[in-house]
């Protein structure tokens, strides 16, 4: 049986390549609005960050998405990212997302 290809993406904070399922997509649309993209299908320029609270906190400290998207984001966005990363991290541990 042919092995299915696993899509890989680069984490903008750590610079490591990881499977797409282990990352959170953040997207900037044409109106320069930046938001989390849990579905991975929103239109716009996307960037990925690991599903890890420590990496999300590092992104906040370094203002990573401000630099990546060339916009000024408030702390509320980064707090939302940290909260979502915490939720997804706990969810992956609970359900053993090995698929």
**CATH code for the domain of 45:** 3.30.1230.10
Asked whether the beta carbons of 44 and 29 are under 8 A apart, the reply is: yes
Q: What is the pLDDT of residue 98?
A: 52
Q: What is the pLDDT of residue 99?
A: 47
Instruction: At 13, give phi and psi (nearest 5°).
Output: -85, -50
Q: Taking the CA of residue 52 as centre, how many other CA atoms within 13 Å lie in the half-sphere pointing to its CB?
A: 13
Number of domains in the chain: 1
**Which residue ranges in the chain fall short of pLDDT 50?**
99
Helix (H) and strand (E) counts in the chain: 3, 5
Task: Report if residue 1 sits inside a domain.
Answer: no
Q: Which domain holds residue 21?
A: 8-95
Asked whether the beta carbons of 77 and 65 are under 8 A apart, the reply is: yes
Summarize pLDDT for 60-77 with one digit per residue, the tens: 999 999 999 999 999 999
Specify the pTM.
0.88
């Amino acid at each position: 049986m042919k092995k299915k290809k696993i899509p890989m993406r680069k984490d903008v904070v750590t610079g490591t390549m990881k499977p797409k399922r282990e990352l959170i997509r953040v997207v900037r649309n044409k109106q320069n609005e930046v938001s989390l993209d849990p579905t991975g299908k929103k239109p716009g320029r996307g960037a990925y960050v690991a599903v890890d609270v420590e990496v999300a906190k590092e992104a906040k400290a370094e203002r990573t998405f401000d630099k990546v998207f060339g916009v000024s984001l408030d702390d509320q966005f980064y707090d939302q990212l940290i909260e979502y990363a915490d939720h997804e991290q706990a969810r992956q541990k609970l359900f053993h997302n090995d698929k």
